[in-house]
C-alpha cells in the first residue's frame, strides 16, 4: 500500500549500507517512528482514512529522503529509516524537519495523529544492524512512555 520497502528488503539494503559505512569509517543514524493516535483516526474517520494516512506518511518520507537513505514500513503504523553518512547534529536537523513536514500533512487532512520518534546516531558505523535498529526503537518507545509526540535522540558514539 505504501510502496516502501518491506522488512526483508530493508534488512538487505540496511546490511549493505552499514557495511559501506563501516568500510568508509563514516557515520550512520537509525530512526524509528510510530504514529500516535492511529487507532483514533481509524475509529473516527474510518479504516479508509487510516490507509490514506499511511500512504500520506510514505509520500512525505519519499519527498524528504536522500538517495542514500533506506526507508521501511515495518508494519502497522511503524516506520524506520537508515541515514548513512549522517551524524548526530545533521540527524537532529533532518528529523526535526521531517517531523514538521509530517505534522503539516496531518493538519492538511485534520487527522489528530502525531509521531513518536527515536533517533540513534553513531559517528562511526557499528557492526550490528539489529542493535542499531533496536537502539532507535527503544528511544521511540521512551517517547511513547513519556507522553508521545516528540523526538528522543541519542549519540551512541560517546559510549
DSSP, collapsed to helix, strand or coil, labels residue 149 as coil
Q: Which residues pair with 29 in a beta bridge?
A: 83, 121
- Nearest partner of 34 among 146, 144, 145, judged by Cα: 144
What does the block give as the cell for 138? 527503544
Cell representation of residue 6:
518491506
Q: How many CA within 13 A on the CB side of residue 5? A: 15
Q: Is 77 a catalytic residue?
A: yes
- Please check whether residue 137 is in contact with residue 32, taking contact to mean a CB–CB distance below 8 angstroms: yes
Catalytic option among 77, 87, 137, 155: 77
Phi, psi of 80 (to 5 degrees): -150, 160
Catalytic machinery residues? 77
Amino acid at each position: 500500500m505504501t510502496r516502501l520497502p518491506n522488512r526483508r528488503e530493508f534488512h538487505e539494503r540496511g546490511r549493505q549500507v552499514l557495511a559501506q559505512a563501516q568500510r568508509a569509517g563514516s557515520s550512520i543514524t537509525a530512526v524509528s517512528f510510530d504514529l500516535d493516535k492511529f487507532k483514533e483516526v481509524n475509529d473516527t474517520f474510518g479504516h479508509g482514512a487510516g490507509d490514506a494516512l499511511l500512504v500520506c506518511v510514505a509520500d512525505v518520507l519519499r519527498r524528504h529522503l536522500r538517495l542514500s537513505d533506506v526507508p521501511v514500513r515495518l508494519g502497522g503504523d511503524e516506520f524506520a529509516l537508515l541515514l548513512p553518512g549522517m551524524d548526530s547534529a545533521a540527524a537532529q536537523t533532518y528529523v526535526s524537519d521531517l517531523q514538521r513536514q509530517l505534522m503539516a500533512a496531518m493538519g492538511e487532512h485534520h487527522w489528530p495523529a502525531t509521531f513518536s520518534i527515536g533517533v540513534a546516531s553513531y559517528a562511526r558505523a557499528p557492526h550490528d544492524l539489529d542493535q542499531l535498529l533496536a537502539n532507535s526503537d527503544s528511544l521511540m518507545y521512551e517517547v511513547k512512555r513519556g507522553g508521545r509526540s516528540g523526538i528522543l535522540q541519542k549519540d551512541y558514539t560517546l559510549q
